[in-house]
A and B are shown apart, each in its own frame.
Chain A
Amino acid sequence: MGDFLGVQTWVGTISWGAPIALAALGGTFSERTGVVNIAMEGLMLISAFFSVLGAWALHNAWLGLGVGVVSAMLFALLFAWGAIRFKADQIILGMAINTLAMGLTGYLLNTIFGYGGTPVNTPQLPTVSIPLLASIPWLGPVLFRQNVLIYALFILLVLSHFLLFHTRLGLRMRAVGEHPQAADAAGINVYRIRYLGVLLSGFFSGLAGAYLSIGALNSFNVNMSNGRGYIALAAMIFGGWTPLGAFGASMLFGFASSIAFNLQGLGIPKDLVLMLPYVATIVALAGVVGRTTAPAADGVPYDPSESS
């Protein structure tokens, strides 16, 4: 029990929370422009697989990262095409992408790699220690001795906040999510902004998926996203549709997972403890809705011929 809240718990919080936070940041952009993106689960899975495939085939983890992120963005484009151009039900469409991602990655895993799984010599994205800072006690190992994607997360968090709340483009995105008719009347191309929002969420989900497969590990498992896309959606709601809030909520789930992982050695049945993040998600969701409000046009396909 001694190191229950020790350094390892906090290192774990960040590494469990990071993929959720990355996806949740992307989800914020998608929902701010008015598209509910439940497909993040599938986008993560797609990127997780193609990152490994790319890293293995090109002998380079960075190229793998690129392949993974681009593949997730292509699937996001497919999702956006159905949701924006054809005004499909976004939740059902998202489920379609998730089912497709499950089947496709499982199928490709078996046909390309066989039943033995991905090769053990697949390159992995590096963990980088920042000189000097890494030797600070506590803070060093928690913040400055991490996988490169964790640093990317911190930078993207700040950039996302700035983009959404301090730029013209961010203002337009929020306008499109709140009142697309008014945005349209003001000369904003609603469709283009929504495509951008969904593509950004594809980009972020891609990073999240790559983190799972070639960041934290160097392999791919069937269904390795394991509900993180849905948790990211909950974190984004919990965070009140803001980048900083989404990040905070994700780290809360990361903390729950990290504690769950650490408690396994203490005689508490591991399976019960592993429920913790899922239960935390439910509790978080139950406790906050009502105090935060979604963008008004979230989930509503935009049809210029309708007036409101």
Chain B
Amino acid sequence: MVLSGYSPLPAYAALFVGAFGTPFNIATTLAHSVPLMLTGLGVAIAFRSGLFNIGAEGQFWAGSIATTWVGYAVGGLPPVLHVTLALLAGAAAGAVWAALIPGLLKAYTGAHEVITTMMMTYVAIQLSHFLLEGGPMQAPGYTPVSPDIRPSAFLPLLVPRTQLSAGLFIALGAAVIAWLILERTTLGYRMRAVGFNARAAAYAGIDVAATTVLALGLSGAFAGVAGAVEVLGVNHRLYDSFTAGYGFTAIVVALLAKNDPWATLGAALLFGALSTGASYMQLSAGVPSQLVDVVQGIIIFFIAADAIIAWLLRRSRNRKEVAA
């Protein structure tokens, strides 16, 4: 920031006030964290299984599309049932998007999931454009948006006039489920074993192919639920620039949390705060919000190359010794 000519202190202050300054800002920060928590958990589950699911964005889209459809096309259900059905549809669509093509291909032909999940993301985005721009899901009128979902599918708001919905509890529940699956079930054990050393796992009698498909499916389901919660709790419909890149930020969130479900909640909160704070920073201190992407990139760089930090520390220590 100094390099780009902004005085850092007012900018950081604006970032912090924007994220946590008022109850309204805190609620907004939490609301932005919810989809990051869910997609982050999904990416973390895949990572634990040695799979790099960089297509959470596409699974998020797939989940949003399915949930929106169930939200407006299915009627006459009591609210609890409608919400449950819509959430399940989102989870299923996300799971299918990750498991059906990238999962099966990885398991049986070895096609690298980095590329297949990425390509499936572009397919999902194109699919949503098709459905919304004059396609079967466009609401009457000229704007490319879907019809509003029925009120029986709304997730209740926790703080009135904010975007913070009961989706927060779904995210917290998902963290518990992710932790239980990874640490307390044989499926989780198999997944971690495959992630640790696939060949050894195969010798130990674990069906590596099936575990791979299941792990990617589970990972996609979490991202799908994230999309569902955005539809049911926040936007109540689907439109073009719906996701705000949550699926991509989720990769950073999972990396920062070192794939631990509880830490993922914290990391998601940090990035929720960064994005809420960044828009406020742009308004009040005039610092463009894209700088948050730059910061994210630098964070991932140093997570990947953590040896650089040790090296820098060593160097500065040596220099001090030389000076002394």
User: Which among B73-81, B126-134, B264-272 touches the partner chain?
Assistant: B126-134
A86, B308: Cβ atoms closer than 8 Å: yes
Nearest CB in chain B to that of A107: its residue: B290
A88: chain B residues within 8 A (beta carbon)? 304-308
User: Which among A4-12, A167-175, A227-235 touches the partner chain?
Assistant: A227-235
Known: A107-B294, A285-B111. A82 touches B304 (CB 8 A): yes
B307, A275: Cβ atoms closer than 8 Å: no
Report if A269 contacts B (CB, 8 A). yes
Could you give, for residues 119-138 of chain B, a 1 whenever the CB lies within 8 Å of some chain A CB and a 0 otherwise?
11011001101100111000
A87, B307: Cβ atoms closer than 8 Å: yes
Q: Which of B101, B105, B305 is within 8 Å of A82, CB to CB? A: B305
Nearest CB in chain B to that of A274: its residue: B126
Nearest CB in chain B to that of A103: its residue: B293
- Which residues in chain B, 79-129, are within 8 Å of chain A measured between CB atoms? 101, 105, 109-112, 114-116, 118-120, 122-123, 126-127, 129
Nearest CB in chain B to that of A89: its residue: B304
Shortest distance from the beta carbon of B236 to any chain A beta carbon, whole Å? 23
Interface residues on A, range: 35 or more
Could you give, for residues 31-60 of chain B, a 1 whenever the CB lies within 8 Å of some chain A CB and a 0 otherwise?
000000000000000000000101000000
Q: Which of A82, A237, A272, A278 is within 8 Å of B301, CB to CB? A: A82
A289, B109: Cβ atoms closer than 8 Å: yes
B294, A100: Cβ atoms closer than 8 Å: yes
B111, A86: Cβ atoms closer than 8 Å: no
How many angstroms between the C-alpha atoms of A227 and B54 in the bound complex? 12
- Which residues in chain A, 216-258, are within 8 Å of chain B measured between CB atoms? 227, 230-231, 233-234, 237
A231: chain B residues within 8 A (beta carbon)? 119
B297, A101: Cβ atoms closer than 8 Å: yes
Interface residues on B, range: 35 or more
CB contacts between A and B, total, < 8 Å: 141
Q: Which of B126, B288, B294, B301 is within 8 Å of A93, CB to CB? A: B301
- Which residues in chain A, 74-131, are within 8 Å of chain B measured between CB atoms? 82-83, 86-89, 91-93, 95-104, 106-107, 110-111
B290, A106: Cβ atoms closer than 8 Å: yes
How many angstroms between the C-alpha atoms of A286 and B301 in the bound complex? 30
A82: chain B residues within 8 A (beta carbon)? 301, 304-305, 308
Shortest distance from the beta carbon of B119 to any chain A beta carbon, whole Å? 4
B123, A278: Cβ atoms closer than 8 Å: yes
B305: chain A residues within 8 A (beta carbon)? 82-83, 86, 88, 93
B297, A97: Cβ atoms closer than 8 Å: yes
B105, A286: Cβ atoms closer than 8 Å: yes
Report if A282 contacts B (CB, 8 A). yes
B301: chain A residues within 8 A (beta carbon)? 82, 93, 96-97, 100
Report if B300 contacts A (CB, 8 A). yes
- Which residues in chain B, 248-270, are within 8 Å of chain A measured between CB atoms? 248, 251-252, 255
How many angstroms between the C-alpha atoms of A286 and B105 in the bound complex? 6
B297, A91: Cβ atoms closer than 8 Å: no
Nearest CB in chain A to that of B110: its residue: A289
How many angstroms between the C-alpha atoms of A111 and B4 in the bound complex? 10
Q: Which of A89, A96, A286 is within 8 Å of B111, CB to CB? A: A286
Shortest distance from the beta carbon of B162 to any chain A beta carbon, whole Å? 27
- Which residues in chain B, 158-180, are within 8 Å of chain A measured between CB atoms? none
Report if A281 contacts B (CB, 8 A). yes
B126: chain A residues within 8 A (beta carbon)? 271-272, 274-275, 278
Closest 9 CB pairs of A and B: A103-B293, A100-B297, A271-B130, A96-B300, A88-B305, A82-B305, A99-B297, A107-B290, A96-B301
Residues in B lying within 8 Å of A, measured CB to CB: 4, 52, 54, 101, 105, 109-112, 114-116, 118-120, 122-123, 126-127, 129-130, 133-135, 248, 251-252, 255, 288, 290-298, 300-301, 303-308, 311
